[in-house]
Chains A and B, each alone.
Chain A
Amino acid sequence: MAIKILNALIAIVGGIGGAMLLFWILNKLSESLKGKWEDRVKPWAFAGPAILAIAVYLIYPALVTLQLSFANAKSTKYVGLKNYTDLLSESEFRQVLLNNLLWIILVPASVVVLGLGVAVLADRLRPTGEKITKTLIFLPMAISMVGAATIWRAVYDYQPVGTAQTGLLNGIRAWFGKDPTSWYQLDKLHFNSLLLMIILIWTQVGYSMVLLSAAIKSVPEDTIEAGRIDGAGERKIFFSIIVPQIWGTVITVFITVLIGVMKVFDVVYVATNGQFNTDVVGRRFYYEMFTNGNNGYAAAIVVLLMIAITPVLIYQVRHFKREEANR
């Protein structure tokens, strides 16, 4: 134990000290260059280590992943598009895609709507009430998905008939004299997926609420006043005056949650491990890579995920460029 802590301390001191020394040396080296060359090299001395970290841990592996997606399970031979055609023709994998699609359709929209609702209502409370409400709703954001899945056992747990129920839902059923249900096995109309989505929504609504509340508060009061003078009701003011002005934030929240949902892994892995038709792309990827040891499938799944995320990526870059232009 002591050795581990010592190790961590060495890592911190060594990491920080090493980085400081590295930058000091890089700076000295670039200062030793003559005139123009100093100005040319110095930015790379400053930005170089970060760019290197990104290149080594994201860009290079991403390219290798693309390459591996055209090779067999053990990456010993190229198989062309076989991984992709195998996966896409497999009915199980198509179910996985369908599940992910359901997550994409339901979760981001629910998070935005619920967050907006709470933001609007909580803004009407007195400051103390507002603060407490917001903190409580926001709190699950700090909890890991593993923690959240554990917490929701208090609600979804199932014990066989005849034993005491430990999950709230089955407790309620028992109270009405009904037999308990194993909720996670209930895949009719993807009901079990819906239960998992609720866990994710529970952790994300606070985030949406905080951002949207800040946006609503920055809507200029005089635009709202103008609406009032024109005789618009509260609802009309909200939908015709406030919503258009916070639309940018709505999109930001939506996209952030969307990305999280596309690669969702933890909650499904912990709660059902993808059984009972709840599997998603992120869980299947983990299974292929780690449990099944099929690098070809795993890589192909990530490439498909990447293709699906590309529109979001393009939007993100465009959005950034627009913001820069306004700076």
Chain B
Amino acid sequence: MTTTVQPGTGTPDQVIKQSKPGSGAGSATPIVRTVLFLLCCLWMLPVFGLLISSFRTRTAQGESGWWTAIANPLDFTQWTLNNYAQVLGDNASGVNMGKAFINSFVVTVPATIIPILIAAFAAYAFTFMEWKGRDVVFVIIVGLLVVPNQVALVPLLKLYKQLDLNGTFLAVWLAHIGFGMPLAVYILRNYMAGLPKAVIESAKIDGASHFTTFWKLIMPMSTPALASFAIFQFLWVWNDLLVALIFLGRGDNTILTVALQGMQGQTGQGKELIPAAGFITILVPIVVFLALQRFFIRGMTSGAVKG
């Protein structure tokens, strides 16, 4: 990062820095600024289009493109909240997003919280305990990070059929716990390996057992990594389509992504509800993401890859 230099006090180095255009903060030319501004507009344009459509009446959506609403936003006959009111209850499209919204929470929250504890204990064992096979098992877990979940689906679907688990929340919870486990162990173990060894050593000398050290020392110290994984897993499960489609289906327990996918083919009644349904689906992840971006980025920079 270029440091600001007081005129006349610069060393030869800094004079050079000053004389060249440089690439530090604030050095953007008007062209760069314009390019980035246009790029941001372009990036948000489709989202903006969806948002506008979601507040337009069925007639308005059918009679003109969403961009016309930008030209005459004061034509209040086109605006409505009715799409949201309808899509959140029973409606013509046959998809109740209100119900699906609650189902999404019912699926996501346990599938996010439960694996954390299991993974944290494992990460502790991989970091602070010496045991035969430890490194081999961990390398297998690292390899499994890139393995797509699809490899497990055919046998699991068969197994669930035998156990009569298909369509239940338990089926998806367990699947997400299993599929999320390699990433959870990997993130937590990488973080724990970076903790100061001296702290753990001194706890050992004080006679603390592994169990106590884990609860009293390591868990509190690992909060940032626990948060990183929690956000990853939350977004992953909330946004997942495949696992929910296969194990939960389109019945009473259906979640937002599956419900929204089911609406795509609508052509007649209910078509005008798609933008509102879309916005309801993406709302929670966007809020979570914006509020906790910091932890999310930290998780990403730890080099995590999920297959």
Q: Interface residues, chain A, CB within 8 Å of chain B?
A: 1, 4-5, 7-8, 11-12, 15-16, 19-20, 23-24, 27, 31, 39-40, 42-44, 46-47, 49-51, 53-54, 56-62, 64-65, 68, 75, 118, 120-127, 129-130, 132-133, 135-147, 149-155, 163-168, 171, 202, 207, 210-211, 214, 217, 221, 225, 228-229, 234, 237, 252, 255-256, 259, 262-263, 265-266, 269-270, 282, 285-286, 289-290, 295, 298-299, 302, 305-306, 309, 312-313, 316-317, 320-321, 323, 327
Contacts and interface: CB of A to CB of B under 8 A. Distances in A.
B260 A146 contact: yes
B36 A122 contact: yes
Interface string B192-225: 0100000000000000011100100000000000
18 contacts: A39-B130, A43-B131, A46-B129, A56-B178, A65-B151, A75-B158, A124-B26, A137-B40, A143-B285, A150-B274, A165-B65, A171-B67, A214-B297, A266-B241, A269-B241, A313-B146, A316-B142, A317-B143
Interface in B153-182: 153-158, 169-170, 173-175, 177-179, 181-182
Given A61-B156, A256-B305, A298-B154, A50 B142 contact: no
Please indicate which of the listed interface residues B119, B141, B179, B305 has the most CB atoms of chain A within 10 Å of its own CB. Answer: B305
A320 B139 contact: yes
Contacts of A64: 154-155
Interface residues of B, number: 124
Contacts of B301: 210-211, 214
Please indicate which of the listed interface residues B174, B260, B282 has the most CB atoms of chain A within 10 Å of its own CB. Answer: B282
A144 B67 contact: no
Please indicate which of the listed interface residues A53, A62, A266 has the most CB atoms of chain B within 10 Å of its own CB. Answer: A53
Given A126-B26, A153-B274, A154-B53, 5 more contacts: A43-B131, A146-B241, A163-B62, A263-B150, A270-B264
A141 B61 CA distance: 27
A137 B64 CA distance: 28
A8 B169 contact: yes
Contact of A259 (B148, B241, B277, B300): B148
Nearest to A57: B178
B25 A65 contact: no
A139 B179 CA distance: 25
B248 interface: no
A229 B119 CA distance: 50
Nearest to B298: A214
Interface in B28-58: 28, 32-33, 35-36, 39-40, 43-47, 49-50, 53
Contact of A47 (B43, B122, B142, B184): B122
Contact of B46 (A123, A155, A237, A286): A155
Given A47-B122, A263-B307, A136 B25 contact: no
Nearest to A205: B43
B118 interface: yes
Contacts of A122: 36
Contact of B154 (A20, A207, A302): A302
Contact of A305 (B102, B150, B293): B150
Contacts of A225: 13, 16-17
Given A144-B241, A150-B50, A155-B46, A62 B142 contact: no
B88 interface: no
8 tightest CB-CB pairs across the interface, nearest first? A57-B178, A154-B49, A144-B239, A50-B122, A142-B289, A61-B152, A150-B278, A46-B125
A318 B246 CA distance: 34
B139 to A, nearest CB: 6
A42 B131 CA distance: 9
B152 A121 contact: no
B230 to A, nearest CB: 13
B191 interface: no
A59 B211 CA distance: 29
A57 B175 contact: yes
Contacts of B13: 225, 229
A252 B303 contact: yes
Interface in B93-144: 99, 102-103, 105-106, 109-110, 113-115, 117-119, 121-122, 124-126, 129-132, 134, 137, 139, 141-144
Contacts of B214: 46
A27 to B, nearest CB: 5
A315 to B, nearest CB: 9
Nearest to B60: A164
Contacts of A144: 238-241, 257, 281-282, 285
A16 B120 CA distance: 12
A274 B62 CA distance: 27
Nearest to B182: A54
Nearest to B264: A270
B235 interface: yes
A124 B25 contact: yes
A12 B114 contact: yes
B239 A137 contact: no
